[in-house]
Amino acid sequence: MPLEKQSFRYRLPFALVGLVAIVLTAIALLPSVSPPSVYAQSAVSAIYVEPGVTIIRSPDGSGQVQGKVVIDLQTGDVWGFPTSSAAPYPVDQTSTRPPVSKPVYLGRFDLAAMKRP
């Protein structure tokens, strides 16, 4: 066998191994050069806040108050957050501290029962 063919035969595997090493190094270093974006929140919200303020009636019928309605889209639970005014946030005129609205369980939508006809 001529010397040129032998040297090509021995150099080809080393060249291919070198090329594979360079490609693998580039793949390994790519995340450090341009890291992927991360988000603190999920892309899909699991709750729906109804726009505006509505009358919230307590399930035991003891009273009613204005507030926001929030629906958990995963479970179908419906919660009311009293605001005590027409404002979309809790208001307490007698205190200088911001009030915290505690949720009132209003009921549940049976989301599993929804089926196409």
Q: What is the mean pLDDT of residues 78-93?
A: 87
Residue 6 pLDDT: 64
Is residue 42 situated within a structural domain? no
* Domain hosting residue 60, numbered range: 47-111
Asked if residue 36 has pLDDT above 80, the reply is: no
Q: Does residue 41 sit within a domain?
A: no
CA of residue 73 relative to chain centroid, distance: 13
- pLDDT for residue 5: 61
CA distance 76 to 72: 5
Structure tokens at 23: 């490609």
Q: Are residues 30 and 81 in the same domain?
A: no
* Res. 38: pLDDT tops 60: yes
For the ranges 41-45, 65-69, 93-97, 111-115, which has the lowest average pLDDT?
Answer: 41-45
pLDDT over threshold 90, residue 69? yes
- Rounded to whole angstroms, how far apart are CA atoms 74 and 4? 71
> Are 104 and 67 members of one domain?
yes
77 in a domain, yes or no? Answer: yes
Asked if 51 and 100 sit in the same domain, the reply is yes
Q: Are 67 and 24 in a shared domain?
A: no
Instruction: Tally the domains of the chain.
Output: 2
Q: Do residues 69 and 100 both lie within one domain?
A: yes
- Amino acid 2: pLDDT: 57
